[in-house]
Amino acid sequence: MIDVIDFGIAPNGEAVQLYTLKNEKGITATITNYGGILTSLKIQIADEERDVILGFDDLDEYTSADYKSNCPYFGALIGRYGNRINKGKFKIDDKEFQLNCNLGEHHLHGGFEGFDKKVWKAEILSDSELKLSYTSPDGEEHFPGNLAIEVVYALTSENELQIKYQAVTDQTTPINLTQHSYFNLSKQPTDILDHMLKINTDYILETDDLLIPGGQLLEVENTVFDFRTKKTIRQDIEELENYDDCFAFKESTENPRKVAELTDEKDTLTMEIYTTFPGLQLYTGKYIDSGIKKKFGPYAGVALEGQGYPDAPNHSIFKHGWLKPGEIYKQQTSYRFIF
């Protein structure tokens, strides 16, 4: 069964719930319909329980001024467009649209009031599946079209947390949905720098200093971005101080394929990442500084987000980033745990 409890009142006055999914292997995933946030993901290993994501125990932490000022998007569903859109601008049939810009002169993660701050409608589909629904109205954050979104969280008996996205629209609109959990697999969490990471691609998206794409894919060979052989996150991070980069797989796929794996420093827990998306955003969390009752600091967790490329609507070479009337947007990212 999926357990349901009250989780408080959202800033808009709506009541919010907390849903807990469990499997027979001792994994529990706890999700709130405020922002579709995955608040905890606990794994029973031998006689100890690990919470492998960064999250809070009460709604007030997610809505506090402290949290909003740092805005790390812990565990949240992101949209209408995850990542960046250059200067918040794009064109449809020669008509220019100007989105709200919440990251200097650029648009990030859906704007000032993205999907991470919405109260989603929740529906229990089965003992292991929770569906969240939200309709983004035409003009929200200045996006065109009414966009109806469904996201299903499913916890399988194979120790896999699946996140399935589906959306339809009545006008052509940019779209890039994702889920923004930060992972720390350690038994006694400190930082993630000694976690071992492998990413199965030869390419990374070229970006400028503000992480806006130039439109090219760069080879990772002989660079600090080469994770094709598993290495610690710490190994090459000194040159950059922080990874915040989109690793590119060139195309979306109909079925999820394995794109990466993360292992704790003691090699006791591994997380495999599968996705249909053409990109995987790696963010190592240098700028995390959030929480009052439960405090998280720099490098406390690492985000590994299956998603489309940032700013795809402004690059014709990227064959995604749009949804048109009559089309169905479908994507999936899964996290599978081996212990």
Q: What proportion of the chain, given as a percentage, has pLDDT over 70? A: 100
| Model confidence pLDDT, tens digit, residues 174-212 | 999 999 999 999 998 899 999 999 999 999 999 999 999
Contacts (Cβ under 8 Å, ≥6 apart) of 306: 178, 179, 259, 273, 275, 276, 277, 279, 280, 331, 332, 333
CA atoms within 13 A on the CB side of 287: 10
Question: Across residues 212-231, what is the average pLDDT?
Answer: 97
Cα(207)–Cα(214) distance, integer angstroms: 6
In a 3-state reduction of DSSP, which class is residue 222?
coil
Q: What does the buried/exposed string (b/e) look like for 219-234 if buried means 16 or more CB atoms within 10 Å of the residue's CB?
A: ebeeeebbbeeeeebb
Based on its alpha-carbon atoms, the radius of gyration of the chain, rounded to whole angstroms, reads: 19
Distance in angstroms (rounded) separating the CA atoms of residues 77 and 179: 5
Q: In whole angstroms, how far apart are CA 148 and each of 133, 177, 281, 325, 328?
A: 8, 12, 25, 11, 10
- pLDDT tens-digit readout, 97-153: 999 999 999 999 999 999 999 999 999 999 999 999 999 999 999 999 999 999 999
**136-149 as b/e: b if 16+ CB within 10 A:** beeebbebbbbbeb
Which band of pLDDT confidence, cut at 50, 70 and 90, is reported for residue 155? very high
Cβ atoms of 315 and 215 closer than 8 Å: yes
Sorted by where each begins, the domain ranges of the chain are: 3-338
The residues carrying an active-site annotation are: 180, 305
CATH for 3-338 is 2.70.98.10
**For the CA atoms of 43, 48, 52, 58, what is the dihedral angle to 10 degrees?**
100
C-alpha distances in angstroms, 73 versus 39, 63, 76, 106?
A: 11, 11, 6, 17
- Rounded to whole angstroms, how far apart are CA atoms 187 and 325? 47
> Cα–Cα distance between 112 and 134 in angstroms, integer?
17
pLDDT in tens, 261-312: 999 999 999 999 999 999 999 999 999 999 999 999 999 999 999 999 999 9
Positive or negative, the CA dihedral 202, 204, 206, 208 is negative
Strand partners, 275: 257, 333
CB 78 within 8 Å of CB 116: yes
